[in-house]
Amino acid sequence: MKNRIVLVAALATCLFSCTSKEHTKCVSSKCTDTTETIKCKTSPTPPMGWNSFDAYDSRINEQEFKATVDYMAENLKQHGWKYAVIDYCWFNDNPGGWNNPNKRHGHPDIRLDKNGVPLDTLCMDQYSRLIPSVKRFPSAANGKGFKPLADYVHSKGLKFGIHIMRGIPRQAYFEKRAIKGSTATAADIAETFDTCNWQNNLYGVDASKEGAQEYYNSLFELYSQWEVDYIKADDMMYPPYHKGEIEMMRKAIEKCGRPMVLSLSCGEAPLAQAEHLKKYATMWRVSADFWDRWEDLHHSFDLLNAWTPHRGEDSWPDADMIPFGKLALDNRPVGKERMTNFTPEEQNTLMTLFCIARSPLMIGADLLSTPKEIIDKYFKNDEILAVNQHSTDNRQVFKNHAYAIWIATEPQTGDRYVGIFNLQDKPSKVTFNMELESLRGDYKARDLWSKKDLGTVNGKLSVNLGTHDATMIRLTKMN
């Protein structure tokens, strides 16, 4: 009887926490029943979208964001790209507008006095909640926040996301600002010793304190009012693992009345926390910050392989953003303004790996200045993107210093996808022994990158690949 009561209560919570459009999905076995929370699911397939960080660092404005949204709606939406995400420091009028000694160019740390008191103020309401800078996002004026911008994104048939930092603003702590729904103040719940080691705007929140959950509830109530669909929460897993704040965020999402993707950064996520991550997050970074370096991409093979048992509906190990095209405008955030340092062959490898391993796909480049041929090849190839969105049984078959093989299944037909990778610093012929997967008899082979049928293969599948190159082959059993 007790279990039945818990189930009924859980269903009621689920119905409350989903909007009307989500009711059917949520009730039809899409919620996870636990004693602590109901996780209403939002992402049956890996999220696909664009994030402003790799191109704009912390300083994108409303005009630039809208132009990107327009481009996505006209060129990428029909291929499955739907999330448009504003990355960090949208609450700062001029992030990185002063020199920070020992920091990279344009780093958005605020200046502090010798006692740690902020010298630079952030945009904040009376309840210690950061709000958009009106100087950068004029539509946020008069307390509207991001609601007008979310409406614009939704009008284009896309979904709206924002980046947040874990914790409560330092400024709120020193001013002892109020917390909505609690008699506690920011000074009562802040952990002043618990600071992000790469961004100093906030203090951590002590989950055991009265007012802590109320603070996070008030944040996500605000994001729900703005109609946010996607939250990228940062400094969540960088040592130490912030279990308490992850759980408070999830509870706040379920209470706020609007389903949201909860994406946790930055990694590498601790594999020992896999079950906790699957319970509370939608996606989580398995890599450190990923840039256009072959060493980072080579490491991704091992990271994605290690997380294979924990991949599934609404639980997506995330290999980070796709750094193709134009990056680091105005020499921020990392390196000089440039076209990606990845070679075309390495770009083949990245997209083949990320798709067959079913990582979330988030474009990091400035779409407005990235060459059309890059966008057309990598972001509009529906046959490749279908592997990411709809394949099953995705896993690494083999890897050594020279090459790697990944495989997956097309669930409707039983066709097999084979990702073939040359990891060597020279061109090479790579052969997949089909007996490793008991693929016996004749198969029709199709190269999904060239979109060409290759004829019939039996026993072995061989391809010639350039340095650090890859391809994706679809195998269809012949009668």
Same domain, 194 and 293: yes
- Regarding whether 221 and 179 lie in a shared domain, the answer is yes
Same domain, yes or no: 356 and 436: no
Q: Please report the pLDDT score of residue 29 as a whole number.
A: 33
Do 369 and 421 fall into the same domain?
no
The pLDDT score that the predictor gives to residue 156 is 98
Q: What DSSP assignment string belongs to 286-351?
A: -SSS--S-HHHHHHHHHHHHHTGGG-BTTBEEE---B--SEE-GGG-SSSSSEE-SS-HHHHHHHH
Last residue of a domain, one of 362, 390, 418: 390
Q: Which structure tokens are listed for 284?
A: 């989580």
Please report the pLDDT score of residue 479 as a whole number: 81
Q: How many residues does the chain have?
A: 479
Task: Say what the pLDDT of residue 14 is.
Answer: 41
Rg (CA), the chain: 23
Quick one: pLDDT at residue 288?
95
Q: Are residues 106 and 154 in the same domain?
A: yes
Instruction: Give the burial class of 383: count Cβ atoms within 10 A of its Cβ; 0-12 exposed, 13-18 middle, 19 or more buried.
Output: middle
Residue 195 belongs to domain spanning: 42-390
| Residues 158 and 69: beta-carbon distance below 8 Å | yes
For tokens 């992030």, what's the residue? 95
**pLDDT of 190:** 98
Asked whether residue 382 falls in the same domain as residue 234, the answer is yes
CB 383 within 8 A of CB 451: yes
375 and 469 belong to one structural domain: no
What are the Cα distances from residue 250, in Å, to 1, 47, 202, 261, 472? Answer: 27, 18, 20, 10, 37
Is the Cα dihedral 149, 151, 153, 155 positive or negative?
negative
Give residue 193's pLDDT.
95
pLDDT of residue 172: 98
Eight-class DSSP state of 391: -
Q: What is the CATH number of the domain that holds 457?
A: 2.60.40.1180
Do 23 and 99 fall within a single domain? no
What distance lies between CA 396 and its chain's CA centroid? 22
Tokens linked to 94: 């001029």
Cis peptide before 317 (omega within 30 of 0): no
Q: Number of structural domains, the chain?
A: 3
The residue from 372, 390, 408 where one domain ends is 390
Q: What is the pTM of this model?
A: 0.92
The token pair at 387 is: 């592997």
Q: Do 50 and 24 fall within a single domain?
A: no
- Between CA 444 and CA 382 the distance in angstroms is 20
| One domain for residues 140 and 13 | no
DSSP for residue 272: G
Q: Give pLDDT, residue 220.
A: 98
Domain harbouring 347, CATH code: 3.20.20.70
The per-residue pLDDT string of the chain (479 residues; one tens digit each, 9 = 90 and over) reads 444 433 333 443 343 334 334 333 343 334 444 434 556 789 999 999 999 999 999 999 999 999 999 999 999 999 999 999 999 999 999 999 887 777 888 899 999 999 999 999 999 999 999 999 999 999 999 999 999 999 999 999 999 999 999 999 999 999 999 999 999 999 999 999 999 999 999 999 999 999 999 999 999 999 999 999 999 999 999 889 999 999 999 999 999 999 999 999 998 999 999 999 999 999 999 999 999 999 999 999 999 999 999 999 999 999 999 999 999 999 999 999 999 999 999 999 999 999 999 999 999 999 999 999 999 999 999 999 999 999 999 999 999 999 999 999 999 999 999 999 999 999 999 999 999 999 999 999 999 999 999 999 999 999 999 999 999 999 999 98
Spatial separation of the C-alpha atoms in residues 405 and 410, rounded to whole Å:
17
The residue from 361, 390, 419 where one domain ends is 390
431-354-308 Cα angle (round to 5)? 85
- For CA atoms 123, 231, 159, 270, the dihedral sign is positive
The closest of 192, 205, 291 to 242, measured between CA atoms, is: 205
Question: Do 116 and 228 have their domain in common?
Answer: yes
Say if residue 356 is in the same domain as residue 302: yes
